Amino acid sequence: MIFDQNSIENSEQDKLAECTQSLLDVYQAAPSRKWKIPLLATLPRNFTKDQVQKIFSCSRYTVNKSRAQRKNNELFDSMKTKVIHKHRISKERLEFFFHFLFRSGLIQDVAHGTTYMHFDTERKVMIPHVIQTMMKSHIH
């Protein structure tokens, strides 16, 4: 066991989970508090502050900092995932959008060099390279 018999209570005599034990090993090997706080933030939420303090031999300040970091950082909470709803757009709405986009002068074609297309008949056609840019506009 990782605890001394004097430092644990009867309810805490159960062996720690393998994950928690490996986290404790990494925590003890961490060089500074800068590394220890994010490690504590990965602990499961079912540990009380007192349990964390006893297991990891840390201060209440460190436990509070790690819990605040977990609360502020969504990476630690993988169960909260955003649900993306996809909706099909009707053909009429899509046509209206393209008509608005190209009719309103928001997009401008700008020539950017040329290239030649060669055909089997040895005919060459010059094709301009075109960049489509958005025009600055104000909505009144």
pLDDT tens-digit profile of 35-77?
A: 888 888 888 878 889 998 998 999 999 999 988 888 877 565 5
* pLDDT score at 6: 44
pTM recorded for the entire structure: 0.42
The tokens of 9 are what? Answer: 């209570």
* 101/9: higher pLDDT: 101
Is the pLDDT assigned to residue 32 strictly greater than 60?
A: yes
Q: What is the share, in percent, of the chain residues with pLDDT greater than 70?
A: 69
Helix %, strand %, coil % of the chain (to 5)? 45, 15, 40
Structure tokens given for 64 = 């509070």
